[in-house]
């Protein structure tokens, strides 16, 4: 009886344990097991297009950190042979697997092996699993890609991985979280006619038993790394090899055979950038080789897998005389970004996706330094800094934004964190730190951080500890200050400050306050409590020192986290302006009182405008446009400042101005009279710079600088957009000349940097025959950057029937627009006045099909929604889109932030129109009348 009672109690205990285990749905893996090494063997079958599959086995050696009777790991869309599960103990040779059951938790992709025995703390075991799967049609996990060989017109298949953030589990059973670092030995089985690549160098090859014509490619054991960085591919590609003097690392740049001549630029950039990083970080690259490979179908721009970096073709391949100067810069930026990841992300990895910015923000900022070293003549550092700041000034001004470092409580939330906040705000905050700490302090801190955590994981507090030490060492902050306190204000709360400057011109006193900048110009009690530690740098006409970006004073937060107002005395005379935030070194906007704006405007609209640093001219323009956009002040102040642009000849202020004004012209488009007034005003502003860059012609000779070429591309694009007569005529003439050439695929005389403008303008003002001509050029082109330009340009048509057909073509996989590119085509259509309602209707009518097209792991549905939302300006259309999303919430699980942002954008559009449309009409009428430009409006209309 007693024995029976004990057995019953034991059974109850066992059932209770199983019940608890069954209920395990926490988004993070249990912590009882730590993998040490994977031996992964995968055989890939590409010989039958109707049955593209893989199968393999994985042996995982792991340590037990606490007693456990289950092994929980990740498996997604794989078939695991439960009858062949093996478990061995390194300590007990007599150990035999006693398996109770195998269960899955679909929501978290858990594969749980329950044991009727206990794995002992401190001991090491080996788990062996056999698995198989289908090469995915979606662009994640282990998936298929293809291309058509131009010489034979034959479809060639390849396989490739994309595991970040959580898709290694779709390729092999694993502990698929970033803090479970392990070594990997990878064997790839494939047909002997193909090539296999992985993270590490090839060690040997041997036949695959039982599979004629198949070989094993066996790779060296890897350094410890997270599962999301594991990579492998089977393909028939070619490569170009390169290295630089003083480095032992061999680069191979791979592409499909017909594109190999486009690899030269990437092959040159990679080794040079890597060598620079080795020097500034003081840590040699730990691998012997880097393979860079251009994949025909790839969801991201690129992926930093250690030793095998995968790219979209547009992000790696450069065709001289076809790819543009901006294409060239983009390729160099992406390569520099991915190579920076080899230290920030690969060598030192964030503990959890909460601190994704430690990967992406660092790689973005460090890449701008890598590019500055590679091509200092480009002035790309300032351009990147301005672009990052403007981008996050807009996104982070929305209530739907999020902190740089924000807890992620479910795997489904990770994908949306790969956004401008993690990348660009992370980069801007690091630039602010760099300017605060100086060159020595910043890089000493970086080196200490990397050395302390190499081959391990870190969180942002580890970074703040390193920077606090250096800030004190180099006397950059007072001993009582701590970088964690300062920087937490920038990374743990949403938004950024608006610093308000109020001057007393009689006493010389300046009062400085701060609050969160919001696009909708409303401050709730909760938002009003926010405070940032703001480094204030400033100068005046008397001092005129824009180079000293070290803060002269700090805006502080008190112990309760509230902002402490600041007062300065006798900094500037009553007739002198003051400018804060030198070279945009801090992540904040500055609002001056009306008199300071007047003084600034007087200088800007004089021949001394260029005594103000070009970055600050760009910042002033962005601020003054944004303040009117959000209702902080009226548009007359903005127009007064913008009129100085008739003298401006630098790229950055123009980039800032035209990016900001694009929102205004977009919302005025449905109101013909206001739209015509605004276009007339813009023509007045742009015509002098259009003439300065020689209009839309061939004057892009090699003597032109990089920034001059970018300026010409920007200005001519806008000149044609606002229908400056010379620009439209020139674009159409270029296009028609191209159409008449005997062999248009080989005889395109349109300068590469002007093609986006020429193509879009010609399609916008052309007919269906023009559209078909450009579509055929898309089909025939073998240059990825050119194909992207054409995809976007085809959406510029004003022919409703053509655009309807184009949307259908976009989502028809048989018509050669790859899945990775459909968002560009769709967004281009949605941006036009004719295409916007067509795109909106297509989205609503085909939502289920679109969700299926992209797959449940994709965030692309959110991208489509974003492109639609910026065009919605009526309450009726807003209600339709909210009803659609509410009725289909399951489709937007991966796009929650995109939905919130879309709703906020539409609300703001409606508010802006209500506040500004009539006001803009009277302001522009009066201004154009004073300028003698009203007659031009009548002629244009």
Q: Is 338 a catalytic residue?
A: yes
Contact partners, residue 894, CB within 8 Å, separation at least 6: 412, 415, 416, 856, 857, 858, 859, 861, 862
Select which of 325, 338, 444, 519 is catalytic.
338
The CA angle 48-52-56, to the nearest 5 degrees, is: 120
- What single string gives the DSSP state of each residue in 568-595? EESSS-TT---EESGGG-SS-EEEE-HH
Do residues 353 and 417 make contact, with C-beta atoms less than 8 angstroms apart? yes
Tokens of 121: 């703390």
CA-based max dimension of the chain: 108
Q: Residue 269 forms beta bridges with which residues?
A: none
Tokens of 260: 């190999």
Q: Is 96 exposed, middle or buried (0-12, 13-18, 19+ CB in 10 A)?
A: exposed
Do residues 734 and 750 make contact, with C-beta atoms less than 8 angstroms apart? yes
**Is the backbone of residue 282 left (phi > 0), alpha (psi -120 to 50) or beta?**
left
Do residues 302 and 266 make contact, with C-beta atoms less than 8 angstroms apart? no
Instruction: Round to whole Å and give the CA distance between 24 and 702.
Output: 64
Tokens of 918: 């009539």
Best CA proximity match to 140, nearest among 160, 116, 114 = 160
| Helix 460-473 with 356-374: angle, nearest 10 deg | 50
Tokens 């892009």, residue located = 700
Instruction: Round to whole Å and give the CA distance between 646 and 199.
Output: 53
Instruction: Round to whole Å and give the CA distance between 42 and 130.
Output: 10
Q: Is 805 exposed, middle or buried (0-12, 13-18, 19+ CB in 10 A)?
A: middle
Instruction: Round to whole Å and give the CA distance between 209 and 298.
Output: 33
Neighbours of 916 (CB within 10 A): 20
Do residues 374 and 332 make contact, with C-beta atoms less than 8 angstroms apart? yes
The CA angle 226-227-229, to the nearest 5 degrees, is: 75
Best CA proximity match to 623, nearest among 604, 597, 643, 649 = 597
Do residues 803 and 834 make contact, with C-beta atoms less than 8 angstroms apart? yes
Neighbours of 153 (CB within 10 A): 7
SS (H, E, C) 115-147: EEEEECCCCEEEEEEEEEEECECCCCEEEEEEE
Best CA proximity match to 535, nearest among 569, 486, 493 = 486
**Coil, helix or strand at residue 397:** coil
Instruction: Round to whole Å and give the CA distance between 518 and 523.
Output: 7
Distances (CA, A) of 195 to 215, 221, 332: 10, 19, 27
Helices (H), 406-532: 420, 426-453, 460-473, 483-491, 525-528
Do residues 401 and 395 make contact, with C-beta atoms less than 8 angstroms apart? yes
Helices (H), 233-286: 264-281
Instruction: Round to whole Å and give the CA distance between 577 and 543.
Output: 11
Do residues 696 and 730 make contact, with C-beta atoms less than 8 angstroms apart? yes
Indicate the length of the chain as a whole number: 941
Distances (CA, A) of 119 to 34, 68, 101, 129: 12, 5, 16, 18
Q: What are the catalytic residues?
A: 338
């Amino acid at each position: 009886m007693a024995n029976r009672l004990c057995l019953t109690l034991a059974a109850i205990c066992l059932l209770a344990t199983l019940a608890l285990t069954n209920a395990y749905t926490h988004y993070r893996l249990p912590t009882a097991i730590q993998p040490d090494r994977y031996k992964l063997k995968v055989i890939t079958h590409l010989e039958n297009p109707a049955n593209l599959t893989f199968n393999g086995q994985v042996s995982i050696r792991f340590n037990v950190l606490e007693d456990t009777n289950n092994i929980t790991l990740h498996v997604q869309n794989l078939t695991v042979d439960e009858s062949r599960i093996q478990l061995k103990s390194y300590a007990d040779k007599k150990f035999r697997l006693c398996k109770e059951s195998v269960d899955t938790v679909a929501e978290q992709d858990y594969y749980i092996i329950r044991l009727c025995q206990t794995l002992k703390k401190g001991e090491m075991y080996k788990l062996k699993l056999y698995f198989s799967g289908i090469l995915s049609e979606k662009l994640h996990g282990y998936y298929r890609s293809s291309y058509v060989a131009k010489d034979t017109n034959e479809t060639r298949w390849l396989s490739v991985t994309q595991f970040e953030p959580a898709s290694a589990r779709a390729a092999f059973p694993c502990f698929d979280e970033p803090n479970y670092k392990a070594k990997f030995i990878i064997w790839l089985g494939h047909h002997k006619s193909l090539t296999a690549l992985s993270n590490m160098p090839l060690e040997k090859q041997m036949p695959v038993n039982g599979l004629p014509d198949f070989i094993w490619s066996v790779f060296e054991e890897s350094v410890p790394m997270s599962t999301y960085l594991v990579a492998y591919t089977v393909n028939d590609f070619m490569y170009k090899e390169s290295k630089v003097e003083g480095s032992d690392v061999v680069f191979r740049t791979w592409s499909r055979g017909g594109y190999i001549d486009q690899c030269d630029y990437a092959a040159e950039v990679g080794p040079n950038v890597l060598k620079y990083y080795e020097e500034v970080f003081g840590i040699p690259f730990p691998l012997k080789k880097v393979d860079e490979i251009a994949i025909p179908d790839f969801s991201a721009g690129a992926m930093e897998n250690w030793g095998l970096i995968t790219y979209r073709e547009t992000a790696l391949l450069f065709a001289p005389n076809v790819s543009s100067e901006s294409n060239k810069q983009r390729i160099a930026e992406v390569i520099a970004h991915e190579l920076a990841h080899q230290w920030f992300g690969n060598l030192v990895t964030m503990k959890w996706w909460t601190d994704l910015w430690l990967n992406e923000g660092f790689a973005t900022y460090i890449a701008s330094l890598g590019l500055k070293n590679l091509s200092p003549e480009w002035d790309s550092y300032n351009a990147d800094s301005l672009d990052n700041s403007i981008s996050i000034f807009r996104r982070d001004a929305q209530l739907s934004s999020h902190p740089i470092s924000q807890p992620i409580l479910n795997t489904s939330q990770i994908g949306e964190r790969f956004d401008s906040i993690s990348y660009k705000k992370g980069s801007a905050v690091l630039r602010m730190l760099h300017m605060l700490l100086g060159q020595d302090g910043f890089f000493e801190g970086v080196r200490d951080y990397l050395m302390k955590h190499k081959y391990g994981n870190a969180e942002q507090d580890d970074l703040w500890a390193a920077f606090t030490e250096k800030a004190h060492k180099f006397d950059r902050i007072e001993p009582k200050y701590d970088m964690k306190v300062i920087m937490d204000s920038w990374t743990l709360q949403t938004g950024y400050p608006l610093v308000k400057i109020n001057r007393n011109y009689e006493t010389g006193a300046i009062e400085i306050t701060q609050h969160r900048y919001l696009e909708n110009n409303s401050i709730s009690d909760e938002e009003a409590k926010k405070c940032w530690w703001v480094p204030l740098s400033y100068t005046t006409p008397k001092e005129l020192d824009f180079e000293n970006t070290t803060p002269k004073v700090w805006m502080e937060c008190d112990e309760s986290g509230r902002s402490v107002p600041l007062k300065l005395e006798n900094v500037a005379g009553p007739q002198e302006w003051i400018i804060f935030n030198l070279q945009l070194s801090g992540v904040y906007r500055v609002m001056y009182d009306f008199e300071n704006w007047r003084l600034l405007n007087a200088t800007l609209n004089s021949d001394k405008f260029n005594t103000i640093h070009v970055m600050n001219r760009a910042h002033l323009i962005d601020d003054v446009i944004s303040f009117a956009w959000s209702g902080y002040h009226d548009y007359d102040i903005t127009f007064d400042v913008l009129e100085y642009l008739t003298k401006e000849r630098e790229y950055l202020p123009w980039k800032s101005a035209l990016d900001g004004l694009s929102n205004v012209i977009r919302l005025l488009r449905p109101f013909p009279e206001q739209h015509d007034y605004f276009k007339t005003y813009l023509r007045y502003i742009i015509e002098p710079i259009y003439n300065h860059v020689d209009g839309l012609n061939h004057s892009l000779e090699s003597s032109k600088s990089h920034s001059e070429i970018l300026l010409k591309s920007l200005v001519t694009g806008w000149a044609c957009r606002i229908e400056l007569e010379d620009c439209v005529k020139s674009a159409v003439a270029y296009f028609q000349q191209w159409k008449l050439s005997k062999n248009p695929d080989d005889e395109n005389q349109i300068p590469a940097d002007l093609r986006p403008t020429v193509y879009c303008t010609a399609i916008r003002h052309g007919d269906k025959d023009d559209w078909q001509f450009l579509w055929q050029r898309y089909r025939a082109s073998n240059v990825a950057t050119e194909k992207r330009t054409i995809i976007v340009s085809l959406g510029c048509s004003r022919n409703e029937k053509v655009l309807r057909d184009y949307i259908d073509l976009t989502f028809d996989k048989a018509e050669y627009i790859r899945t990775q590119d459909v968002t560009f085509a769709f967004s281009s259509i949605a941006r036009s006045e004719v295409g916007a309602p067509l795109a909106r209707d297509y989205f609503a009518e085909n939502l289920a099909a679109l969700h299926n097209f992209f797959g449940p792991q994709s965030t692309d549905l959110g991208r489509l929604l974003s492109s639609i939302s910026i065009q919605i300006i009526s309450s009726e259309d807003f209600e339709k889109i909210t009803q659609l999303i509410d009725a289909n919430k399951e489709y937007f699980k991966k796009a929650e932030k995109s939905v919130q942002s879309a709703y906020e954008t539409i609300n703001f559009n409606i508010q802006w129109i209500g506040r500004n449309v009539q006001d803009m009409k009277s302001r522009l009428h009066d201004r154009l009348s004073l300028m003698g430009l009203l007659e031009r409006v009548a002629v244009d209309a």
